[in-house]
């Protein structure tokens, strides 16, 4: 059986909706990745991340898309790039990441609960 966590533990994870404002290929990454700058609204602002999502996404097609991300993990150095949030996704049948997103537009910074 998997380890169970309490609701209070889950609520410590700050999961928000943001909109991709800028993207770049990340050729220096160990595995193919895309850099993203995501706007989480006035309270949090723009945060950056990189994600290994090149099988299903191109940088130009991510522009303006809403995504779901954890915004309260500590920053993580990835090569010469500092990742500040963790964009969430699930694996497809081949193990490639498919991003989680709202099924309709929601205000930036909206917190998942």
pLDDT at position 28, please? 86
Q: Are the beta carbons of 94 and 62 closer than 8 angstroms? A: no
pLDDT at position 1, please? 63
Q: Is the dihedral of CA 56, 47, 29, 91 positive or negative?
A: negative
Q: Are the beta carbons of 111 and 43 closer than 8 angstroms? A: no
27: in domain: yes
3: in domain: no
112: in domain: no
Dist. CA 20–CA 37, nearest whole Å: 6
110: in domain: no
Dist. CA 54–CA 63, nearest whole Å: 14
106: in domain: no
Domain of residue 24, residue span: 20-99
pLDDT at position 18, please? 98
pLDDT tens digits for range 57-66: 999 999 999 9
Per-residue tokens: 94:
């081949």
Average pLDDT over the chain, rounded to an integer: 95
Residue 109 in this model has a pLDDT that exceeds 80: yes
79: in domain: yes
Strand partners, 22: 37
86: in domain: yes
CATH code of 38's domain: 2.40.50.140
Total structural domains within the chain = 1
């Amino acid at each position: 059986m998997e380890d169970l966590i309490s609701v209070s533990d889950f609520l410590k994870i700050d999961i928000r909706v943001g909109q991709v404002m800028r993207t770049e290929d990340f050729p220096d990454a160990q595995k193919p990745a895309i850099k993203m700058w995501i706007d989480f609204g006035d309270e949090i602002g723009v945060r950056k991340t990189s994600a290994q999502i090149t099988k299903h996404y191109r940088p130009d097609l991510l522009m303006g898309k809403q995504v779901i991300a954890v915004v309260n993990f500590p920053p993580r150095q990835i090569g010469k790039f500092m990742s500040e949030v963790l964009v969430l996704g699930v694996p497809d049948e081949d193990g490639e990441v498919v991003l989680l997103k709202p099924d309709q537009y929601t205000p930036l910074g909206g917190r998942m609960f």
